[in-house]
Structure 1
């Protein structure tokens, strides 16, 4: 009964264009959601490969960031409020915010107000090309400096620095994030294991 009630609440929010505050207070129904221009979108739980690759990248990044006191690394559950009226709240698989920006904004309740400096998305089997490109555009348009798309099937890292500035790296290449995360480099092969 409670699950049907929760779903009813969620469906009602979708009909009326949801706001970030409503997303933040949704009842837990076991799913994750993003808010895209007021539309609530359900995200399926990550599969084995997706989760392993996201963790492989994030622990390497987090270790480097912590050792060098560069800022903070965030997990997939973290929402970033990218736009208002209509609201867009996205949650990348991995995110990084620089120490400078953290100090400027201070401690924040709820969703981070703005885009991370780095957003990493791992392509899931059910993701369409259009969905992935929409996420990349949303991140870049909101001010993310570096968006990385990790594709487990192709074992590639597609690096977006601005709209149209794209490079595709294969397993023998090194992913250099030094312009956004000072000194961070990782072999693409290492990420995919």
Structure 2
């Protein structure tokens, strides 16, 4: 008779210590990730800064920096930590004063692809966000200087540096040249 290890829950994860190691919980299993490189951190910072200015000026909700855990699924639990996340005011207000990870998906999840990320890793994150109810996912690719925008698995758009990235109905009125996300 084999004994299977019990799945880790979001609450278990919140109590664990990993030092400087970055982790996510995927279907009850802790996944470790390499620390982000300088370029990754800089681009995530650009994205956060651009979004922060817009969201704050229009009082749209809350922005969350990297390492903020979002519980995307239960039994087994999945907790993802996007590089940048936006949650609309009504939903963000429901989480205030509550400890632990954010219960539910962000409205917008932004992932900056690192050299160590595989296509399968990125696709799995997109699927997890969208299946949990995220309204939009941006995949920012530094190597190709592109942004892939997912409104759903069927509504996907790839933008290049000369294109304009807009916030759709998630961030109404938001628009920025793609190049700005890469410091240009």
TM-score by length of 1: 0.90
The structure carrying a bigger helix percent of its residues is 1
Equivalent position of 2:103 in the other structure: 113
* TM-score, normalisation: structure 2: 0.94
Aligned pair count? 180
SS of the aligned residue for 2:35 comes to: coil
Unaligned runs of 5+ in 2: none
Q: Name the SS of the counterpart of 2:173 in structure 1.
A: coil
Report the equivalent of 1:67: 57
Partner residue of 1:189? 179
Deviation at residue 178 of structure 1 after TM alignment = 3.3
Contact 2:71/2:105 (<8 A) preserved: yes
Q: What whole-Å deviation, never above 9, does each CA across 1:65-95 have from its counterpart, x for those lacking one?
A: 1111110000011000011110000000000
Give 5+ residue unaligned stretches, structure 1.
1-13
- How big is each residue's C-alpha offset from its partner over 1:134-164, in whole Å with a ceiling of 9 and x where there is no partner? 0000000000000000000000000000112
SS where residue 162 of structure 1 aligns?
coil
Give RMSD over aligned pairs.
1.3
Asked if residue 160 in structure 1 is aligned to residue 150 in structure 2, the reply is: yes
Match of 1:5 in 2: none
2:95/2:102 contact within 8 Å kept: no
Partner residue of 1:123?
A: 113
- Answer with 60-69 or 143-152: which moved more: 60-69
SS state at 2:98 partner: coil
Aligned residue in 2 for 1:41: 31
